[in-house]
Structure 1
Amino acid sequence: MPVDRESEEYNMNHLRRGYATIFNHDEFSHDMPTRKGSHIDVQQLTNILEMLHFEVKVYNNLDCEKIREVLNELASMDHSDCDCLLVAVLTHGLKSNYLYAKDYIYSVDTLWLPFTADRCLSLAGKPKMFLIQACRGEALDAGVRLVSTSQTDSGNISYKIPSMADFFIAYSTAEGYYSWRHPEKGTWFIQSFCQVLNDHYRTLDFQKIMTRVSHRVAIEFESYNDCFLEQHEQKQVPNMHSTLIRDVYFRPKV
Structure 2
Amino acid sequence: MSSPHSAGQWGFKILLSWKQRQPRSVNKRKVLADALREVYRDDLAGLVDGNFKPKSRSTTTKAVIPQQEVTRQHTSSIVEPKTKYTARGVPPTGSGSDNPEDTDSEEGNSDDDSTKEFFEKWRNHDGVYINSSTPRGRCLIINNFKFEPEMRNRYGTEHDLNSLKDLFTKFKYTVTVKTDLTARDIKDTLNEESKQSMHDMYESFVLAILSHGTVDAVYGVDNETVPYKEIYNYFNGENCKSLIGKPKIIIIQACQGKDEDGGVVPDGGEVKQDDNVDASSPSPSDLMDEKDYPDGAQKSPTMADFFIATATTQDYVSWRNTQTGTWFIQALVHIYRKYAGKKDISAMSSKVNSLVASKTSTAGKKQIPDFRNRLRKKFYFFPGH
- Taking a change above 3 Å as real, the CA distance of residues 164 and 180 of structure 1, as seen in their structure-2 partners, is same
Q: Give the counterpart of 2:337 among 179, 186, 198.
A: 198
State yes or no: 1:53 paired with 2:172. Answer: yes
Paired residue for 2:378, among 234, 247, 251?
A: 247
CA distance in 2 between partners of 1:54 and 1:116 (Å)? 20
| 1:160 equivalenced with 2:299 (yes/no) | yes
State whether structure 2 residue 157 is matched by structure 1 residue 38: yes
Task: Kindly state the Cα deviation for residue 166 of structure 1 after the two structures are TM-superposed.
Answer: 0.4
Q: Which residue of 2 aligns with 1:27?
A: 146
Q: How far is 1:146 from its partner?
A: 4.3
- Tell me the CA shift for residue 80 of structure 1: 1.7
Letter in 1 for 2:370: N
Write the deviation string for residues 125-151 of structure 1: whole angstroms up to 9, x where unpaired: 001111111111111111123488958
- Of 223, 227, 235 in structure 1, the residue corresponding to residue 361 of structure 2 is 223
For the pair shown, which has the larger CA radius of gyration, 1 or 2?
2
Find the counterpart in structure 2 of residue 12 from structure 1: 131
Q: Which residue number in structure 2 is paired with residue 188 of structure 1?
A: 327
Report the count of equivalent residues: 239
Q: Alignment partner of 2:203: what SS?
A: strand
* AA aligned opposite 1:223: S
Q: Which residue of 2 aligns with 1:144?
A: 264
Alignment TM-score, normalising by the size of structure 2: 0.59
Would the aligned equivalents of 2:134 and 2:172 in 1 still touch at CA under 8 Å?
no
Deviation at 1:119, TM superposition (A): 1.7
Q: Deviations over 1:145-182 (max 9, x none)?
A: 34889589xxx995211011001111101111110011
Counterpart among 220, 225, 230 of residue 101 in structure 1:
220
- Equivalent residue in structure 1 for 2:188, among 64, 69, 92: 69
Deviation per CA, 1:23-53, whole angstroms, max 9, x where unpaired?
A: 1111112410111100010001111110000
What's the secondary structure of 2:151's corresponding residue? coil
Map Cα deviations across residues 219-240 of structure 1 (whole Å, 9 max, x no partner): 2x1101xxxxxxx111000011
Partner Cα separation in structure 1 for residue 313 and residue 174 of structure 2: 29
Assess if the C-alpha contact under 8 Å between 2:167 and 2:337 holds in 1.
yes
> d(CA) in 2 for partners of 1:15 and 1:188?
30
Task: Check the 8 A contact 2:257/2:316 in 1, yes or no.
Answer: yes
Counterpart mapping for 1:108-147 below 5 A:
108-146=228-266
2: distance between equivalents of 1:111 and 1:30? 25
Q: Is the 8 A contact 1:137 1:178 kept in 2?
A: yes
2:234 counterpart SS class: helix
Cα contact 1:98–1:105 (8 A) shared by 2: yes
Local SS of the residue matching 2:127: coil
Supply the distance in 2 between the matched residues of 1:253 and 1:77 (Cα, whole angstroms): 26
Deviations 1:204-223 (A, max 9, x none): 0011111111110002x110
In 1, the alpha carbon distance for the partners of 2:345 and 2:220 equals 28
Give the deviation of 1:105 after TM superposition.
1.8
Deviates more, 1:107-116 or 1:206-215: 107-116
Unaligned runs of 5+ in 2: 1-124, 270-287
Secondary structure of 2:141's match? strand
Q: Which amino acid is 1:122 matched to? A: S
- CA distance in structure 1 between the partners assigned to 2:252 and 2:383 by the alignment: 25
SS in 1 for 2:200: coil
Which protein has the bigger helix share?
Answer: 2
Shift of 1:15: 3.8
CA contact (8 A) 2:160 2:326 kept: yes
**1:227 matched residue in structure 2:** none
CA contact (8 A) 1:37 1:182 kept: yes
TM-score normalised to structure 1 length: 0.88
Match of 2:41 in 1: none
Structure 1: stretches of 5+ with no match in the other structure: 1-5, 225-231
Q: Which has the higher strand share?
A: 1
The SS at the match of 2:300 is coil
CA contact (8 A) 1:15 1:81 kept: no
SS in 1 for 2:136: strand
- 1: CA distance between counterparts of 2:165 and 2:206? 12
Q: What is the DSSP-based 3-state SS (H/G/I as helix, E as strand, rest coil) of the residue aligned with 1:112? A: helix
Deviation of residue 253 (structure 1)? 5.3
Q: What is the CA–CA distance in structure 2 between the aligned matches of 1:138 and 1:67, rounded to whole Å?
A: 23
